[in-house]
Amino acid sequence: MNEERNAIPLILTGIGSILGTVACLWYYGYLHFAKPEDALLLSEFTMLKTVPGEDYKTALSPAPQVAQCIDGVLVLFDTEQKGLTGVLVDGKKQAVRCMGQETPQQVQ
């Protein structure tokens, strides 16, 4: 049974399956193609330095962002826009570290 098969339909079916899968995942939001404009600033933040014996004033209403320490990095969650999260970075794009949770260590 030495039959020659035409491989072109198989190749086209495979490529079509992959493209269909990617399109379906993108449509339902499981796949996101990141663009440079996706990394826009959520808000501007300023650090208020605390000096012993000196008062500082802040607004009574809290900011719409909530911070949490995850794997030793400060992650911000926006409470107004569901699903909007980001890592807090400084002017040099270095992640702000936190001490609220131990950084996982590699087990040997």
pLDDT digits (tens, 9 = 90+) for 54-95: 887 888 888 888 888 888 888 888 887 777 678 888 778 788
pLDDT at 36 over 90: no
Q: For tokens 């270095």, what's the residue?
A: 94
pLDDT at 105 over 70: no
Domain boundaries in the chain? Answer: 56-108
Confidence of residue 96 (pLDDT cuts 50, 70, 90): confident
Give CA angle at 55 (49, 56), nearest 5°: 55
Give CA angle at 102 (52, 74), nearest 5°: 65
Name the pTM for this structure.
0.47
